[in-house]
Amino acid sequence: MLRASFRKEGNAVWISHLDLMRVLQRAFRRAGIDLKHSQGFTPHPELSIALPMSVGISSDCELVDFTPAEGVELDPAEVPARLNPVLPAGLTVTDCWAEGRKLKHLVWLEARLTLVYDDGVPDGAAEAIQALLDRPELVVEKHGKKGPVEVDIRPMYRDVRLKREPDPAHPREDALTLTLVCAAQNPTLNPLLLPAAIERYAPEYRPDFTRCRRLRVLDAELEAFR
Amino acid sequence: MNAEIERRLERILPTVQKPARYVGGEYNQTVKDLAEVDTRVVFCFPDTYEIGMSNVGIRILYEAVNNMPGVWCERAFTPWGDMEEAMRANHIPLYALESHDPLADFDLIPISVGYEMSYTNILTMLDLAGIPLHASERKSLHNIVFAGGACTYNPEPLAEFFDFFSLGEGEESTVEIVNCYRSAKRAGLTKDEFLHEVAKIPGVYVPSFYEHRYNPDGTLAQIVPLHGAPAKVTKRIVQSLDAAVFPTKPIVPSTEIIHDRVNLEVMRGCIRGCRFCQAGYTYRPVRPRLPETLYRQAVDSLESSGDHEITLSSLSTSDYKFLEPLTDRMTDYCAARHIGLSVPSLRADNFSRDLMLKLQRVKKSGLTFAPEAGTQRLRDAINKNVTEEDILKTCEIAFSGGWNNVKLYFMLGLPTETDEDVLGIADLVFKILNTWKAHASNKKRGVRIHVATAFFVPKPFTGFQWEQQITPEEYLRRARLLKNSMFSKSVEYDYHDDRVSEMEAVFARGDRRLGPVIEAAWRRGAKLDGWLEYFDYDKWQAALRDCGIDPSFYTTRGFGLDEVLPWDTIDPGVRKDFLKRERERAYRSEITPDCRHGCAGCGANCLLEGGVCDA
């Protein structure tokens, strides 16, 4: 099994998790990398993407695991250069290596939220939001399978930092940049629940729009996960 | 990328279903440097991205136009209702997927119209783009809106919305049209002067050059060509499919579409001549591609797209003369690479065990056959030259080869159909079930027989173009009769919506008086009418009432054999006297042999240089 990390940004952020599998399966074919196929009625190339992500979120640290077909000699170092020319715009493989750690050790995700205020960041917004997110408990409404449920998301994130600073891709916007470390799985925290919490508890600081980017994947000790 | 549209899109895309279909950026899309582009074209498809990107015609023409230096061709599709609403609320005009520039920025706006129930989507797209709906309101050379596709064989209901129609195959004529436009733009012609120039291109029909006059009883009295326009406009064909442009670097959608695979067109036209089938008549003459060309195109397309499935398409692929040598080579290539090979539109009378085995080397897909009618008498009347023995033999081969899933398509309401013919469908299905019992290789897995019936819609340029459609009530009675005659749990039956098919029939043979009906229905909110979740019969009924139109004039009335037909200006190659002969033979339940067993003299051969078909 090999593992590659890739960026997902620009218009590629609208590709859903399932569609991304198709996109990557086809890209491997175009790159001439034959993957191991599943057995059965409709054989398909085996490939798995860690931590499914909602559409609209960009990422610097997506992971895909794949297994070359039997007899295929593949130097992982070559993989980015072979895949990148055949990927649609917005997807870029940054690295590839063998023997990745077990995914259960992927515990935390570092993420960045850009809170965009069309009429300028309100005075005191950064302080108020910081104070809100540092409360000992933060209950939000989550849409579960059985309808809306109230969940305390406070244990699912840490290290919140806020700065009045625009998104690097949109330097002219007036925005707050919020970085945090959030739970990657069991259960995962959708970082977009944070603006929902702001709307509920501090509606005067509700951003007009929130952009989200995954920055790094981390293990339980907050070390980089590979 | 258009920055303002980009900024607004970012905010609405998280709120709509399947946003990937609205952003473009797919692998193999064409992006050109605007500094080197003098003419911008946006190919529009009046249905969703998933349907439009599955259309081979659009892909071919995208390639043909983008092969022209200085011309950039982009794409636009109809947004789903949630996206349309969000776009309107946020003042986002309809934009092209490649550049995200608004459609109003484009010179030429060709729209591919293949289905009557997509007519309102044309208005949605123009309106979302801020482009006036009627040709007469578009005064300048900017935003020339024209159409091609199957529905343009009777374009009259759409006449007021389009500047002109491009009839038949567009590989060459579209390039000629674009060049004509470029010269007109350079020479500073008015729109009217341009229309006179473009009308000189064979296959181009300018509806405003014709006046339609009606009799007091509502039938057409006369079609008068104006400004020296020709009495007939003949559709275009390409002489050699091997030389014709074919996209071997197909766009690879980043989201799943309906036909999510390489689509290789093995031939054009059909040798059969089923009397209800518009495509069977209008795609004539039959022209095959050579297997060498196809194999090369297949390999190039598969390698460039990375697709893991390829389909050999045509109106009747098992009639493709070189099917065996082609599938021999293709299966070897495909099996070695886990690529599925599928052959749709198989006929029950020439299905072979060999072909079946080849097709299941990688992936076993379902089997679909279209006997169309339940009795031999009616199958003869519609010229579907398939016998019960053929069907049962084919099923026997399939069941003994391990298939346990068969789909069967029929039509209800065909001319001369009686209850005996309807019950004949149930009888045939019962025999197929017995064939499975006798020959199944593995009975434990059970069998699924899926039966579907469509409501017969008489179409222009068919042997049945004059026929009456039965009423929706009568269609439903026949459907229930059939449903109550099939008892097995292994048989699943569903039938097409009666009301959609009724509306389809109105517009298929409609005239210019229906343009206002389309607009009225659209203004009442009709949209995406091909989708049952949107189709709203009441809106259409109200629109017909608004315009004082009785739909039965176009459906159950039937057209007189000597009546002037709205589509009489158009010449698809096949002659009217031939169609009349086919109609007479139908009433005598007399078959017409396929093109390989003797030329029936349809007239389409006249479109070929040399005048001889290679059926």
Q: What is the pLDDT of residues A203-214, one digit of tens each?
A: 999 999 999 999
Residue B226's pLDDT is what? Answer: 96
Q: What number of C-beta contacts closer than 8 Å exist between A and B?
A: 81
Residue B405's pLDDT is what? Answer: 86
Averaged pLDDT of chain A: 94
- By the CB < 8 Å criterion, does B300 face chain A? no
Q: Which residues of B242-275 are buried (b: 16+ CB within 10 A; e: fewer)?
A: eebebbbebbbbbbebebbbbbbbbbbbbbbbbb
Q: Walk across the sheet containing B309-313 and list its strands.
A: B262-265, B309-313, B340-342
Angle (CA) B417-B418-B421 rounded to 5° is: 80
Q: Which helix (H) or strand (E) holds B558?
A: none
Spatial contact of B166 and B152, defined as CB atoms under 8 Å apart: yes
User: Which is more confident, A44 or A102?
Assistant: A102
User: Which is more confident, B6 or B208?
Assistant: B208
- By the CB < 8 Å criterion, does A168 face chain B? no
Residue B221's pLDDT is what? Answer: 97
Q: Which of A18, A26, A88 sits opposite B307 (nearest CB)?
A: A26
Pairing of strands A157-164, A175-183: antiparallel
CB contact under 8 A, B338 and A30: no
Q: How close B255 gets to chain A, by Cα (Å)?
A: 5
Closest residue, chain A, to B306 (C-alpha): A26
Residues of B in contact with A15 (CB under 8 A): 20, 254-255
Q: How close A156 gets to chain B, by Cα (Å)?
A: 23
Residues 134-163 of B with CB under 8 A from A: none
> What does the DSSP assignment read for B303-346?
HHH--SEEEEESSSGGG-TTHHHHHHHHHHHHHHTT-EEE--S-
pLDDT bracket for residue B22 (50, 70, 90): very high
Averaged pLDDT of chain B: 95
Give the pLDDT mean for A72-96.
Answer: 96
Give the pLDDT mean for B112-123.
Answer: 97
Give the pLDDT mean for B534-543.
Answer: 98
- By the CB < 8 Å criterion, does A217 face chain B? no
Q: How close B15 gets to chain A, by Cα (Å)?
A: 10
Residue B554's pLDDT is what? Answer: 98
Question: Which tens digit of pLDDT belongs to each residue from B428-444?
Answer: 999 999 999 999 888 88
Residues of B in contact with A11 (CB under 8 A): 23-25
Residue B504's pLDDT is what? Answer: 97
Question: Which tens digit of pLDDT belongs to each residue from A137-174?
Answer: 999 998 878 888 999 999 999 999 999 999 988 898 99
Residue B307's pLDDT is what? Answer: 95
Spatial contact of B109 and B144, defined as CB atoms under 8 Å apart: yes
Name the 3-class secondary structure at A147: strand
Residues of B in contact with A30 (CB under 8 A): 27, 303-306
Question: Which tens digit of pLDDT belongs to each residue from B122-142?
Answer: 999 999 999 999 999 999 999
Provide CB contacts within 8 A for B118, sequence distance 6+. B46, B47, B78, B529, B530
Question: Which tens digit of pLDDT belongs to each residue from B228-239?
Answer: 999 999 999 999
Give the pLDDT mean for B40-49.
Answer: 98
pLDDT bracket for residue B313 (50, 70, 90): very high
How far is the C-alpha of B411 from the C-alpha of B488, rounded, in Å?
Answer: 21
Q: Which of A11, A41, A87 sits opposite B23 (nearest CB)?
A: A11
The Cβ of residue A176 has, within 10 Å, a number of other Cβ atoms equal to: 23
CB contact under 8 A, A43 and B362: yes
CB contact under 8 A, B19 and A14: yes
Q: Which of B19, B260, B308 sits opposite A29 (nearest CB)?
A: B308
Tell me the domain boundaries of chain A: 2-100, 104-218
Closest residue, chain A, to B11 (C-alpha): A209
Residue B13's pLDDT is what? Answer: 97
Pairing of strands A139-144, A147-152: antiparallel
CB contact under 8 A, A30 and B304: yes
Residue B27 has pLDDT above 90, yes or no: yes
How far is the C-alpha of B277 from the C-alpha of B342, rounded, in Å?
Answer: 23
E strands of B197-240, at which residues?
204-205, 210-214, 220-225, 233-234
CB contact under 8 A, B23 and A14: yes
Question: Which tens digit of pLDDT belongs to each residue from B317-361?
Answer: 989 999 999 999 999 999 889 898 988 766 767 667 777 777 766
Residues of A in contact with B13 (CB under 8 A): 14, 55-56
What's domain A2-100's architecture? 2-Layer Sandwich (3.30)
Q: Which of A11, A25, A45 sits opposite B24 (nearest CB)?
A: A11
The answer to whether ipTM exceeds 0.90 is yes
Question: Which tens digit of pLDDT belongs to each residue from A41-53?
Answer: 677 888 999 999 9
Name the 3-class secondary structure at B18: coil
Distance of CA B25 to the CA centre of its chain: 26
How far is the C-alpha of B277 from the C-alpha of B463, rounded, in Å?
Answer: 8
Question: Which tens digit of pLDDT belongs to each residue from B409-468?
Answer: 999 999 999 999 999 999 999 999 999 999 988 888 899 999 999 999 999 999 999 999
CB contact under 8 A, B364 and A30: no
The structure tokens listed for A17 are 């998790």
Residue B363's pLDDT is what? Answer: 59
Residue B213's pLDDT is what? Answer: 98
The structure tokens listed for B234 are 């003949």
Residue A42's pLDDT is what? Answer: 72
- By the CB < 8 Å criterion, does B255 face chain A? yes
Whose tokens are 């405003």? That residue is B208
Residue A39 has pLDDT above 90, yes or no: no
Give the pLDDT mean for B249-278.
Answer: 95
CB contact under 8 A, A16 and B255: yes
- By the CB < 8 Å criterion, does B252 face chain A? yes
Give the pLDDT mean for B30-59.
Answer: 97
Whose tokens are 């570092």? That residue is A110
Residues of B in contact with A16 (CB under 8 A): 18, 20, 255
Q: What are the structural domains of chain B?
A: 3-234 (3.40.50.280), 262-412+420-437+574-604 (3.30.750.210)
**Domain A104-218: which CATH number of 1.10.150, 1.10.1740, 1.20.120, 3.30.70:** 3.30.70
The structure tokens listed for B37 are 């582009």
Q: How close B257 gets to chain A, by Cα (Å)?
A: 10
- By the CB < 8 Å criterion, does A163 face chain B? no
Distances (CA, A) of B612 to A78, B284, B486, B579: 55, 12, 47, 20
Q: Which of A26, A45, A211 sits opposite B305 (nearest CB)?
A: A26
- By the CB < 8 Å criterion, does A42 face chain B? yes
> What does the DSSP assignment read for B62-128?
HHHHHTSTTEEEEEEEPPPHHHHHHHHHTTPPPB-TTT--BGGG-SEEEEE---GGGHHHHHHHHHH
Residue B365's pLDDT is what? Answer: 64
Spatial contact of B363 and B357, defined as CB atoms under 8 Å apart: no
Give the pLDDT mean for B283-300.
Answer: 96
Check the CA dihedral A6-A11-A17-A20 and report its sign.
negative
Residue B348's pLDDT is what? Answer: 66
Residues of A in contact with B362 (CB under 8 A): 43
Q: Which residues of A15-27 are buried (b: 16+ CB within 10 A; e: fewer)?
A: bbeebbbbbbbbb
Residues 53-72 of A with CB under 8 A from B: 55-56
